[in-house]
C-alpha cells in the first residue's frame, strides 16, 4: 500500500530522494526523522500522513518543531525528542518503525540500531555526503563521510532489499556554497523474498520504481 506525497513548502523543501522513496513505507506508519534539525523532513512527512517521530540534540530546533506540530496535531509534539543519540541510549528501543529517514548525518555506531529498528516491510531512506566531499569543502571529516559503497554494505549486513542506490555528484549549487555536493543515497526495504532458487516462492512484494 502506498501513500500520495504532497509537495513540501519551498522554504522547507524535503530532499527529492526522500520525496521519491518514502512511499516505499506503509501508508500512515510510524516514521522517524533522525537528527532532524529544523525538521524539514519531519514537517513534510507529517503532511504526507505519517505518524511522525523525530530526534535531535539541538534543544532550540526541537522546541520550534514541537510547537509547529502541536499547532497541527495536539499531543503529537511529544514524539519530537531532544536527545543526544551519540551519547545517550537509543530512545526508541522496542519501537518498530515503518520508515526511517536520515539526511546529512552519519554516526556509524548507530547504523545497526537503525536497521534493527525497521518493522517488517519498513523502509530506510538514507542520504549523506561521501569522502569525495572533502575535496571541494565541508564537511571534510572522514568520520562523517561515507566510504564507496558503504550504504550498500549496511543494507547487505541487515538483509535489506535495496530498491534504489546512487553515489555521485549533484551539481545543485546554492548561492551560499557556490558548488554542488558529493552524495551517496539508498532506499532499502526490510522485506524477504524467500528462497529465490526454488519454486513456489509465492507473490513477491512490489516496489514501484516511479
Q: Which three cell numbers stand for residue 166?
A: 546512487
Domain-located, residue 8: no
Q: What range does the domain containing 72 cover?
A: 16-190
Identify the helix (H) or strand (E) that includes residue 183: strand 181-189
What's the total number of domains in the chain? 1
Instruction: Print pLDDT tens along the chain (210 aa).
Output: 434 443 333 335 899 999 999 999 999 999 999 999 999 999 999 999 999 999 999 999 999 999 999 999 999 999 999 999 999 999 999 999 999 999 999 999 999 999 999 999 999 999 999 999 999 889 999 999 999 999 999 999 999 999 999 999 998 755 555 678 999 999 999 986 654 444 455 677 788 887
Domain-located, residue 200: no
What is the reported pLDDT for 202? 63
Residues near 134 by beta carbon (within 8 Å), at least 6 away in sequence:
140, 141, 142, 145
Cα–Cα distance, 200 to 83 (Å, whole number): 47
Helices (H), strands (E): how many in the chain?
5, 7
Domain-located, residue 87: yes
What is the reported pLDDT for 4? 43
- Beta partners for residue 34, in sequence order: 55, 102
Domain-located, residue 102: yes
What CATH number should be reported for the domain holding residue 98?
3.40.50.150
What is the reported pLDDT for 209? 85
What is the reported pLDDT for 182? 96
What is the reported pLDDT for 210? 76
Domain-located, residue 158: yes
Domain-located, residue 110: yes
Domain-located, residue 4: no
Q: Which three cell numbers stand for residue 63?
A: 522546541
Its pTM stands at 0.88
Domain-located, residue 9: no
Given a contact cutoff of 8 angstroms between Cβ atoms, the answer to whether 113 and 123 are in contact is: no
Return the number of other C-beta atoms located less than 10 Å from residue 72's C-beta.
Answer: 11
Identify the helix (H) or strand (E) that includes residue 115: helix 111-116
Amino acid at each position: 500500500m502506498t501513500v500520495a506525497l504532497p509537495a513540501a513548502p519551498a522554504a522547507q523543501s524535503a530532499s527529492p530522494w526522500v520525496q521519491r522513496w518514502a512511499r516505499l513505507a506503509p501508508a500512515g506508519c510510524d516514521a522517524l526523522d533522525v537528527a532532524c534539525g529544523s525538521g524539514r523532513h519531519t514537517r513534510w512527512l507529517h503532511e504526507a500522513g505519517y505518524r511522525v517521530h523525530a530526534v535531535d540534540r539541538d534543544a532550540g530546533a526541537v522546541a520550534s518543531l514541537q510547537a509547529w506540530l502541536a499547532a497541527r496535531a495536539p499531543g503529537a509534539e511529544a514524539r519530537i525528542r531532544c536527545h543526544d543519540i551519540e551519547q545517550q541510549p537509543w530512545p526508541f528501543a522496542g519501537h518498530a518503525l515503518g520508515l526511517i529517514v536520515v539526511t546529512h548525518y552519519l554516526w556509524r555506531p548507530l547504523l545497526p540500531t537503525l536497521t534493527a529498528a525497521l518493522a517488517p516491510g519498513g523502509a530506510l531512506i538514507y542520504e549523506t555526503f561521501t569522502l569525495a566531499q572533502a575535496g571541494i569543502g565541508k564537511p571534510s571529516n572522514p568520520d562523517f563521510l561515507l566510504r564507496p559503497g558503504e550504504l550498500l554494505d549496511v543494507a547487505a549486513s541487515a538483509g535489506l532489499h535495496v530498491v534504489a542506490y546512487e553515489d555521485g555528484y549533484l551539481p545543485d549549487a546554492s548561492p551560499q556554497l557556490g558548488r554542488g555536493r558529493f552524495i551517496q543515497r539508498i532506499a532499502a526495504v526490510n522485506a524477504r523474498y524467500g528462497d529465490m532458487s526454488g519454486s513456489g516462492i509465492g507473490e513477491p512484494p512490489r516496489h514501484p520504481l516511479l
